[in-house]
């Protein structure tokens, strides 16, 4: 029971960018309940956000072994494998994930990406169709499906691209910078920090001096902090604040960074190795 009480605290600390403290709490939860798959999963989550992927992998594998019915550790193992270019392993884990959690549109979308990398186009199309059936406005899945259909079914590709364009217009995403930013937010929702950061950096480059530049820096700063990169995150947040001084979201994020630094002064210049 004590182990379970530690996990909500760990999640709150992680949300406040205090990943070192969250790691302490989840490590204690694992010590108190070494046979708890959930405890191992949450420790893995914190390690993953600290970019300590090898350690996170071990925790996720342990969680899978201890609890064969929870999909989350399989999803994160798939993310690690995908980021390492191990697409067959990632696809296998994602197939297990969607079997346990058929309503996970992000897992279906990522499964499609991995299958496409392995030239398994038909199954990739089926996976993206599943993602869109769950969330008809999932713009990344709509775009991927339309692109993949271009060479085999032009009429359907055009229909899907029309749906994609309608979603973009609905969200007032009218240029490349906004499109990239929207894709980055979707990637961050899937905890794919490297992809989210890549898309936002591209969005900032595409934006130049556009009206959304402060918001793009803020989004990138928050995602960098969520990924455990406090120094990089703070730089982006300060850039956002310089451009848009009265933004309360940027200010709140900077306050969270300052609080995390004050509690862990030894790691103030960067995240733990």
Per-residue pLDDT reduced to its tens digit, 176-197: 777 777 778 778 777 888 888 9
Share of the chain above pLDDT 90, in %: 48
Between residues 3 and 15, which one has the greater pLDDT? 15
Please give the residue range of the domain that contains residue 241: 183-267
Between residues 115 and 229, which one has the greater pLDDT? 115
* Residue 203 pLDDT > 80: yes
Q: Mean of the per-residue pLDDT values for the chain?
A: 86
Is residue 188 in a domain?
yes
For 172, the token pair is 């007032």
Q: Give the CB-side neighbour count of residue 137, counting CA atoms within 13 A.
A: 7
* Residue 113 pLDDT > 90: yes
CA distance 187 to 194: 9
Is residue 157 in a domain?
no
Position 15 scores a pLDDT of 63
Is residue 218 in a domain?
yes
What is the mean predicted confidence (pLDDT) over 66-72? 92
Question: Which of 94-103, 150-159, 247-256: highest mean pLDDT?
Answer: 94-103
- The residue from 46, 70, 94 where one domain ends is 70
Is residue 273 in a domain?
no
- The CATH number linked to 14 is 1.25.40.10
CA distance 21 to 269: 16
Is residue 229 in a domain?
yes
What is the mean predicted confidence (pLDDT) over 60-82? 94
What is the mean predicted confidence (pLDDT) over 87-106? 96
Is residue 97 in a domain?
no
Is residue 1 in a domain?
yes
**How many domains would you assign to the chain?**
2
What is the mean predicted confidence (pLDDT) over 73-91? 95
Is residue 155 in a domain?
no
- The residue from 70, 104, 129 where one domain ends is 70
- The residue from 70, 88, 120 where one domain ends is 70
Q: Which of 49, 48, 83 lies closest to 225, judged by CA?
A: 49
């Amino acid at each position: 029971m004590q182990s379970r009480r530690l996990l909500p605290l760990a999640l709150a600390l992680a949300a406040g960018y205090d990943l070192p403290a969250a790691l302490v709490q989840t490590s204690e939860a694992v010590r108190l309940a070494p046979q708890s798959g959930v405890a191992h999963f949450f420790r893995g989550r914190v390690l993953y956000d600290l970019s300590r992927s090898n350690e996170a992998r071990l925790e996720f594998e342990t969680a899978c072994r201890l609890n064969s019915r929870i999909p989350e550790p399989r999803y994160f193992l798939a993310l690690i494998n995908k980021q390492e270019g191990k697409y067959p392993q990632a696809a296998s884990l994602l197939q297990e994930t969607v079997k346990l959690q058929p309503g996970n549109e992000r897992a279906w979308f990522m499964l499609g990406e991995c299958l496409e990398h392995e030239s398994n186009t038909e199954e990739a199309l089926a996976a993206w169709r599943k993602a869109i059936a769950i969330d008809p406005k999932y713009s990344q899945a709509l775009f991927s499906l339309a692109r993949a259909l271009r060479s085999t079914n032009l009429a359907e590709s055009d229909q899907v691209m029309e749906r994609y364009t309608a979603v973009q217009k609905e969200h007032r995403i009218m240029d490349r910078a906004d499109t990239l930013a929207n894709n980055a937010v979707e990637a961050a929702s899937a905890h794919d920090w490297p992809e989210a950061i890549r898309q936002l950096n591209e969005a900032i480059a595409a934006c130049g001096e556009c009206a959304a530049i402060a918001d793009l820096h803020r989004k990138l700063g928050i995602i960098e902090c969520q990924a455990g990169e406090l120094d990089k995150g703070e730089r982006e947040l300060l850039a956002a604040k310089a451009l848009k001084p009265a933004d309360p979201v940027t200010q709140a994020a900077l306050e969270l960074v300052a609080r995390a630094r004050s509690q862990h002064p030894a790691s103030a210049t960067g995240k733990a190795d």
